Amino acid sequence: MKILVNFESGLKQIFIVPKSMLAIEFRNMAKKIGGNIESIEFSLPPRRQSNLSRSELQEGILRLPDRR
């Protein structure tokens, strides 16, 4: 899962973390790396993209809707 962390210093960092990692563990890790955290944004694929294969999700491949 991709997580964007906005730090109070103005730094922005994207982390790729396993879904099994606890939120508190992630927050503590991010704080050690970049300092105080202003906000955290989670990136989840849209529901329409949920039919992607596991390998496509890992590669970041997104299918565009068919033109009608």
Pairwise CA distance, residues 38 & 41, whole Å: 10
Show pLDDT as tens, one digit a residue, over the chain (68 residues): 889 999 999 999 999 988 889 989 999 999 999 999 999 998 766 655 555 556 555 555 545 555 54
Pairwise CA distance, residues 15 & 35, whole Å: 14
| AA letter at 46 | P
Give, as one character, the DSSP assignment of residue 67: P
Contacts of 49 (CB under 8 A, 6+ apart): 62, 63
Contacts of 39 (CB under 8 A, 6+ apart): 5, 6
Enter the pTM of the model.
Answer: 0.61
